[in-house]
Chain A
């Protein structure tokens, strides 16, 4: 790196930037760190505020309990499948539509856009939707995770805005002169220029599928089809002995209560870790997207 003489303004700027970043970092990171240490600490100590900087009364009871459960693995398998297949279908349906809606020459675009946005604010409610799913024989199948709401209008808008802003209209005109069709232009020009967008929207969809809880809750009855979130919750609840309160009778509290919190924290980690681990890999694409985005001109 070439050493530059730094102007006074630049020094102040850097100092402010550094301080700001440090504060943001600590504010975000500490509570997360806390979950980690809480997941391996004695729950009573956690509840009484004794665990602040370092784990105390270390035990892996929570993790043992969670991983002992075979259902976890079924859940993982299902969730990974739903997430990957679902995200693929999402992008397949959303990106072309967003491209079309970004084309100013496409006359129907305002009407279609309105019809789409309308659904963000208005819908028929759960029961009619359920009846529809039942009639389409989607209930209790994996399709219900993938097909029904595969176009998220919000993400569609993001994509459309991105295409509008980053693809100069002249580019297509020039390509069209050379006899280039919309299909070809979309696949060969628009998509490669939009890696940043694809990775952003893709990640949004991905996280949505990963955390999706409601679909399975309503539409899935078969244990073999349940995703991770549902199963983790079952485990979580099974340790909420307190949920039964007095009802559970006797000394139930003494045995299970003590570990309930620990399992709770453990579950947070088990259910979010995979996506956290995934992120650094995706970040590469983010970066690449960012770079390509900036190289284009």
Chain B
């Protein structure tokens, strides 16, 4: 670029720069400056020499993790839970938004909206507590229902086959409504004239959804989907940890809970950092792949 055009671009855009500068400053200071700490994954942690003074170990801690006894199990469980959450959990708020958008009566719509948003405000600890109470095979309502349905004595929280469905469905219960807000906001931007002309053309409401509402959501869907792929190896820590018990452990031990366990017992900062970096790198790969695909296919991309 010629310096002249650079200058003129700056001159033209100076107002834009002023508007974006505060955000850049904040992100640079609070997110980028502390990043020097990442080297911990490649070094021993040595308090007396400071955070970055420990001996350089290269990929030692990465190897330690990859060679570790639980590595395959952890990867499998983490991928599995993430995929299940994305496959089932990602479309749910979209569907919900489309449904809510169809309710014509204002009061009813308000009531529905308010209700479905509520669970989002509940803390994870409480949510898991509720699951325990409600799903108890002995005393919970789920237990009573299953007995009545002749399904017998199933403990949903304590079986390797029901853990993931329980996890995913409760997650949808809690966050689906809240996550639909974005989509509802996007639907609100649809030009009403479009609806009017659709009506005049005799389109049914199914068709309106199919040809007007859904296309309006696509940019949002794409962006959110890319981002969610970028978190493919990141499962919720708190909830899984709280839902873990000896019986579901074979499917519920994920990277995050494992890092917690080794980190908390012995402050093994370096190993924990290395696992974190490993995790991030995988997430990045997915993020980039999705971003590239989507830029080509739908012309929408994050960056």
Please report A residues at the B interface, Cβ cutoff 8 Å.
7, 9-10, 13, 17, 20-21, 24-25, 27-29, 31-32, 34-35, 38, 46-49, 52, 92-94, 96-97, 99-101, 103, 105-107, 110, 112-117, 119-125, 127-129, 131-132, 147-151, 153-154, 156-158, 161-162, 164-166, 181-183, 186, 196-197, 200, 203, 207, 211, 264, 268, 271-272, 275-276, 279-280, 283, 289-291, 293-297
Contact = CB atoms under 8 A, between A and B. Distances in A.
B283 to A, nearest CB: 6
A297 B51 contact: no
Contact of A27 (B22, B37, B173, B191): B173
Contacts of A35: 122, 126, 130
Contacts of A123: 31, 34-35
Which secondary structure characterizes the binding site on chain A? helix
B191 A294 contact: yes
B121 A207 contact: yes
Contact of B32 (A31, A119, A131, A153): A119
B118 A32 contact: yes
B136 interface: yes
Contacts of A31: 119, 130, 134, 173
A101 to B, nearest CB: 7
30 contacts: A9-B205, A9-B206, A21-B99, A21-B103, A21-B112, A28-B173, A31-B173, A38-B133, A46-B133, A47-B139, A93-B22, A96-B19, A96-B23, A97-B20, A97-B23, A100-B20, A112-B24, A117-B287, A117-B302, A121-B280, A127-B269, A128-B33, A148-B30, A149-B31, A161-B223, A207-B121, A280-B114, A293-B188, A294-B191, A296-B189
B102 interface: yes
B13 interface: yes
B37 A125 contact: yes
B138 interface: yes
Contacts of B276: 125
A272 B102 CA distance: 29
Given A107-B13, A166-B189, 15 more contacts: A28-B116, A49-B140, A122-B38, A125-B34, A149-B26, A153-B27, A161-B223, A164-B219, A165-B186, A165-B219, A182-B15, A200-B185, A264-B129, A293-B189, A294-B191
Given A25-B115, A125-B34, A186-B19, A165 B189 contact: yes
B280 A122 contact: yes
A181 B173 CA distance: 46
A297 B188 CA distance: 11
B64 interface: no
A196 B185 contact: yes
A217 B156 CA distance: 33
Contacts of B190: 294
Nearest to A103: B16
A19 B272 CA distance: 49
Contacts of B119: 28, 31-32
Contacts of A116: 23, 27
A119 B32 CA distance: 8
A171 to B, nearest CB: 14
B205 A13 contact: yes
B40 interface: yes
B26 A124 contact: no
A52 B118 CA distance: 20
Contacts of B30: 129, 132, 148-149
Contacts of B33: 124, 128, 132
A148 to B, nearest CB: 5
Interface in B100-135: 102-103, 108, 110-123, 126, 129-130, 133-134
Nearest to A162: B185
Contacts of B140: 49
B303 A114 contact: yes
Contact of B121 (A93, A125, A276, A294): A276
A7 B138 contact: no
A96 B18 CA distance: 9
Contact of B13 (A94, A106, A122): A106
A157 B112 contact: no
A123 B37 CA distance: 8
Nearest to B130: A31
A47 B223 CA distance: 43
A196 B9 CA distance: 32
Given A117-B303, A125-B273, A100 B19 contact: yes
Contacts of B181: 200, 203
Given A28-B173, A35-B130, A97-B20, A161 B35 contact: no
A147 B26 contact: yes
A56 B276 CA distance: 48
Nearest to A279: B114
Interface in B148-181: 173, 177, 181
A120 B224 CA distance: 13
Given A124-B35, A279-B114, A294 B192 contact: yes
A148 B32 CA distance: 12
B76 to A, nearest CB: 22
B102 A17 contact: yes
Interface in B51-107: 51, 96, 99, 102-103
